[in-house]
Structures are given as structure tokens and as C-alpha cells.
């Protein structure tokens, strides 16, 4: 499947890095300060879209500043909720 190398969130470019995250035991993560989302290179199809939606929600909450106003648990719950969009 075609995977984009960057997406725009709130008018800002966010880099999508497709890397092997096996050793870290995760499918993806989000670093707001560098506007970078890492996604496990082995992800495809619906699973890829689910993880991208999850990490994109973390980025939205981070860029908007909303993540500063909530607990880590609530932010994670919102990111999980965003997977079903």
C-alpha cells in the first residue's frame, strides 16, 4: 500500500517515519516537539490506518495544547477512540 511520508495537522507538516519498531515492542509513537510520528514498517491496510489515526490524535492533542490540560490516561483514551474514525 502507498504510505505518505508526511501529513498536515492544523496546517503544520508532520513527518511519518516508517521504521522497524519490533525491538521497542510498539506499533507507533508520536513526538510532538519534532512533529514526527513513527510507524512500524510492517503495518499494512486497516492496521496501519488504525495506528496512524491513534498517533495522529496524539499529535492533534499535542499541537493544540489540549494534552497539557488532561491526564495521560485521558489523552490515551481519546487516541484509542480516534482509532474508530
Chain contacts with Zn ion (rule: CB under 5 A): 76, 79
Shortest CB 5 distance to Zn ion, Å: 22
Closest residue to Zn ion: CB criterion: 79
Nearest to 30, CA basis, from 14, 44, 6, 8: 14
| Residue 61: how many other CB atoms lie within 10 Å | 21
CB of 73 to Zn ion, least distance (A): 11
Residue 2 or 68 having the CB closest to Zn ion: 68
Nearest CB to Zn ion, comparing residues 2 and 85: 85
Chain CA centroid to CA 5, Å: 13
The C-alpha cell 492533534 sits at 60
Amino acid at each position: 500500500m502507498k504510505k505518505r511520508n508526511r501529513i498536515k495537522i492544523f496546517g503544520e507538516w508532520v513527518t511519518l517515519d516508517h521504521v522497524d519498531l519490533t525491538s521497542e515492542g510498539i506499533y507507533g509513537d508520536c513526538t510532538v516537539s519534532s512533529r514526527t510520528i513513527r510507524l512500524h514498517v510492517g503495518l499494512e491496510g486497516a492496521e496501519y490506518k488504525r495506528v496512524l489515526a491513534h498517533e495522529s490524535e496524539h499529535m492533534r492533542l499535542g499541537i493544540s495544547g489540549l494534552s497539557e490540560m488532561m491526564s495521560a490516561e485521558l489523552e490515551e483514551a481519546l487516541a484509542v477512540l480516534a482509532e474508530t474514525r
